[in-house]
Every structure is written in structure tokens, then in C-alpha cells.
């Protein structure tokens, strides 16, 4: 997709006109996966990729069968996920 549309381009009002927006739902207890994904995006796609780091995970349906996923994401995990994105070289990681 990035090869087709490039990095996100916005106007003066931050309205997107074209480009890639990547949404990454952070999973509780899986920050090492977040690190791998952010490293891949920064190195293999573009460090200017707009990444929406998502905190909205909530356990549902059969999550109670997987103790590591049977809880919401903590605030500290979310803050760490944002830090990871920046540490891995992503210049446009956002929390919105």
C-alpha cells in the first residue's frame, strides 16, 4: 500500500488527503510484538509512516480462556507502546 500512496499528506487543518495511515492495536502483555512491528514499519516501510497506536483493546467473547488477554491494556503499557514506536524511529506515532 505504501508503494502505491506514500506517506500521509495532510493540509493545514490536519485533514488527510492521501497516503498511508497504519493502525496498531496494542495487546496486553505483548509489547515485544509492538516493538517488532514498529521496527519493521520504520525500517522497511518508512520512518514517516503515520502510526495510530491504539489503546482500545478490551477482552471479549472467549478472552477468558486466555489469561494473558483477559484484561484491558494498562496505562503504563500504552505509554510504553508509544515510547517504543518513537524509540524504533517512527517520527509520526500518535495516540489519536
- String of b and e for 58-81 (b: at least 16 CB within 10 Å)? eeeeeeeeeeebeeebeeebbebb
Grid coordinates belonging to 22: 497504519
pLDDT tens digits along 58-85: 999 999 999 989 999 999 999 999 999 9
Grid coordinates belonging to 16: 488527510
pLDDT for the residue 95: 77
Cα separation, 60 vs 16, in Å, equals 32
Reported as a pLDDT band with limits 50, 70 and 90, residue 94 is: confident
Amino acid at each position: 500500500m505504501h508503494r502505491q500512496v506514500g506517506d500521509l499528506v495532510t493540509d493545514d487543518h490536519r485533514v488527510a488527503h492521501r497516503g498511508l495511515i497504519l493502525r496498531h492495536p496494542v495487546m496486553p502483555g505483548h509489547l515485544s510484538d509492538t516493538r517488532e512491528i514498529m521496527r519493521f514499519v520504520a525500517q522497511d516501510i518508512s520512518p514517516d509512516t503515520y502510526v495510530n497506536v491504539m489503546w482500545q483493546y478490551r477482552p471479549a467473547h472467549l478472552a477468558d480462556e486466555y489469561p494473558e488477554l483477559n484484561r484491558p491494556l494498562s496505562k503504563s503499557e500504552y505509554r510504553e507502546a508509544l515510547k517504543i514506536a518513537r524509540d524504533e524511529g517512527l517520527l509520526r506515532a500518535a495516540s489519536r
